[in-house]
Amino acid sequence: MAVQHHNGAIEIDRVKSGVPGLDELIYGGIPRANLVVLSGDPGSGKTVMCWQFIYEGITQFGENAVYISLEESEQVIFQGAKEFSWDFEKLVKESKLVIITVELYDFERLKVAIEDNVKAINAKRLIIDPGVIFRLFFDRELDARKRIVALGKMLRTLDVTTIITNEISLERESSLYGLEEYVADGVILLYHTRLKNRFVRSIAVLKMRNTEIMETLKPLKITSDGVKILAKAELFDEVT
Ligand SMILES: Nc1ncnc2c1ncn2[C@@H]1O[C@H](COP(=O)(O)OP(=O)(O)OP(=O)(O)O)[C@@H](O)[C@H]1O
Ligand SMILES: [Mg+2]
C-alpha cells in the first residue's frame, strides 16, 4: 500500500526487518510483500537472520509469521533460537508463529499448507529456509520455474513479505532454478570476505524492487543478540 504525501512523494509501505542496520541499507525497510532471496555460504548467518526477522517481527511489530524449515524438528529450532533468547515455543503456543517442518513433501501440498497457515494466523512474514528444498521437489528445471513463479504470485496475493534462503559455495554460485532472476524482488548476499589471514562477515543488497538501496558491502556481526550490520562503517574500517 502506498501513501501519497502532499508534496507528491510516494511513500511505500515497508517492513522493518528488526535486524539492526539492515533497514538502513534499504532506505527504511523491505517493501511490503516483496520476495527476497537471502544467499550466502554455510555458516554465513542466513538462518539466524531469518529467526531474527520472525522474532522481532512478532514481538516488536505485531506481524505474525510462518516458517517453513528443513530442520529435523520444531524442538531443534526452539533450542537453536533459545541461544539468542528468542522464545519460539511461546510464540507457537500463542499462535503468532507456525513452524512447518518439511520432510518429503509434495510441492502443491506445501503451497496449500503455506496458504492455509498464512491465512489462519494472518501472517505477514514468511520464511523458507533452506530454499534448497525446491530442488528436492523437481526433476526438471522448466517445471520448477513454472511452479515457483506460481508460488511467487500466490505469496504476493497473500501480502506476506517472504525470505527464501539459498546456499552458495565460495567457488560456485548456484541459483535456485532462476528463482533470483524470475521471481525475487530482492537479493541479499551474506559473505565471508577474506582479508589477509582471516574472514570478515559482510552483507550486500544486490537488488530490491521498489526502493533505493545502498550498494556497498557492509560489515556484519553475529553475537548472542543476533545479527547486526554496521551500516555506517566501511568494510575495510574493520581491519587495520
Ligand atoms: N552467540 C554467538 N555469537 C557469535 N556467533 C554466533 C553465535 N551463535 C552462532 N554464531 C555463529 O553464527 C553462525 C550461524 O549461522 P547460521 O546457522 O545462521 O548460518 P547459515 O547461513 O544458515 O548456514 P547454513 O548454510 O549451514 O544453514 C555460525 O557461523 C556461528 O558461528
Ligand atoms: Mg541455515
Summarised one tens digit per residue, pLDDT across range 36-67 is 999 988 899 999 999 999 999 999 999 999 99
Per-residue pLDDT tens over the stretch 194-234: 778 888 899 999 899 989 998 888 999 999 999 999 988 87
Q: Is 76 in the pocket of ligand 1 (CB under 6 A)?
A: no
pTM for the full predicted model:
0.91
Q: Which of 102-116, 164-178, 200-214 is modeled with the greatest confidence?
A: 200-214
Ligand 1 binding pocket includes 152 (Cβ within 6 Å):
no
State pLDDT tens for residues 74-94: 999 999 999 999 999 999 999
Residue 36, strand partner residues: 163, 186
Please report, for residues 2, 29, 35, the alpha-carbon distance to residue 181 in angstroms, rounded to integers and kept in the order given. Answer: 25, 21, 12
Phi/psi of residue 4, nearest 5 degrees: -95, 125
Three-class secondary structure of residue 2 per DSSP: strand
Average pLDDT over residues 164-176: 68
The grid cell for 144 is: 520448477
pLDDT of residue 237: 65
| Closest CA to ligand 1's atom 3 | 223
Q: How far apart are CA 124 and CA 145, in angstroms?
A: 24
* Domains of the chain with CATH codes: 16-238 (3.40.50.300)
Instruction: Report d(CA 191, CA 165) in Å as an integer.
Output: 13
Residue to substitute in 48, 79, 82, 176 for testing ligand 1 pocket (most ligand atoms within 8 angstroms of CB) = 48
Of all ligands present, the nearest one to the C-alpha of 41 is: 1
At 122-165, the pLDDT tens digits run 999 999 997 776 666 777 777 777 888 888 899 999 999 999 99
Q: Which atom of ligand 1 is nearest to the CA of 50?
A: 18
Counting atoms of ligand 1 from 1, which one is nearest the CA of 40? 21
Does the beta carbon of 48 sit less than 6 angstroms from any atom of ligand 1? yes
